[in-house]
Structure 1
């Protein structure tokens, strides 16, 4: 069972040749759940260095171009993601797109799972691998990436792979963007380095809309 990443507000992704042009800003209930009814919902931590960034304010990775780019690993399906700082140790399922072109996300009833966007690079390959997950759900409360916003530059993220070669990444930045200004190119655009993008929802839960207004995005590069 899958749901739209954009819920009822989802905008389709479209493919142009081999490159996927992402038109989905991950809005609505899809990437993240609902508030906890009947009890005050805990608030997920938000990035410290950047309260609400916009694409125009997004830092570039050009500052790292002077260092040799890590050699990428061959393609392999990821199996688990481990983030020691925030106590994440989660299984990963493979995700694609729905018949209408919107992205799939882990089902809310399995909000402890992370999901890898399979049409893109696998973690460790050259390019930006994307892993998404819920921040919370009405059923289980805090979900797999509830504390994603607490990560800091220099933290480690390790993704185990089916081929037995783990890919360990170093966090470069943790950002928060409004969903209506989702930095598509930064997350899903091409890269000549092995990168990782981890995405969940952020901001203060909007009870009226039934969703979070922002996305928390972790940008990381393969550790040499």
Structure 2
């Protein structure tokens, strides 16, 4: 009986110690878990800070090829053109459309945008770029892309290049500025070569972009 009384009297203390031990272990677990969650959150935040923002990527301008060009009273459709086997720029498939060099910059993009067009047709009637010769310094040229955005360029130079000039390819040189170069035939007809003896070159610099809606 004495032993039983001792055990009975000690039982509340043992229960108290057991409960206290469980409470301590639970507290330790919660502290460790809280610290672990905090560390994971900090790592996640650090990862987000070092990753590029999706919104920054979306906010970058999207450039598209020009589908229309307007200057003076001329308004033309634009088609992509490439390069011939001899390295010369291809011409549009129609006498009445302009040709945008498809490996060059797009409308509004940095670089030298090259667009050519026929001066006249096989019968001598006006072609797409017949009125290019009438552009003056300060006149504007507009390019329109598929989204209806209008890119305006201001003419800053106009000159002729002989087709035999070894420096004639300099009109295609790249640049970091937003430049537009328009090319068509000029000079007089050369029966020996079957083309005009010069090329009329008009250059313009970017001025502004507007939305056509």
Structures share fold, TM-score greater than 0.5? yes
Identify the residue that residue 95 of structure 2 maps to in structure 1.
Answer: 111
Paired residues for 1:1-224 under 5 Å: 74-84=62-72, 87-98=73-84, 102-107=88-93, 110-139=94-123, 141-181=125-165, 182-185=167-170, 187-224=171-208
- Length, aligned pairs only: 148
Does structure 1 retain, via aligned residues, the 8 Å contact 2:142–2:150? Answer: yes
Residues 147 and 166 of structure 1: is their aligned pair in 2 closer, same or farther, counting only changes over 3 Å?
same
Normalised by the length of structure 2, the TM-score is 0.64
Normalised by the length of structure 1, the TM-score is 0.61
Residues 180 and 74 of structure 1: is their aligned pair in 2 closer, same or farther, counting only changes over 3 Å?
farther
Does structure 2 retain, via aligned residues, the 8 Å contact 1:111–1:134? Answer: yes
Give the structure with the larger helix fraction.
2
Q: Work out which structure has the larger RCO, using CA pairs closer than 8 Å and 6 or more positions apart in sequence.
A: 1
Q: Alpha-carbon deviation of 1:140?
A: 6.4
Instruction: Say which SS state the counterpart of residue 77 (structure 2) adopts.
Output: strand
1:9-41 CA distances to partner (integer Å, 9 max, x unpaired)? xxxxxxxxxxxxxxxxxxxxxxxxxxxxxxxxx
Q: Alpha-carbon deviation of 1:206?
A: 2.6
Residues 142 and 125 of structure 1: is their aligned pair in 2 closer, same or farther, counting only changes over 3 Å?
same
The structure whose Rg is larger is 2
Q: Alpha-carbon deviation of 1:153?
A: 0.5
Note the residue ranges of structure 2 that are not aligned, 5 or more in a row: 1-59, 209-213
Note the residue ranges of structure 1 that are not aligned, 5 or more in a row: 1-71
Residues 98 and 184 of structure 1: is their aligned pair in 2 closer, same or farther, counting only changes over 3 Å?
closer
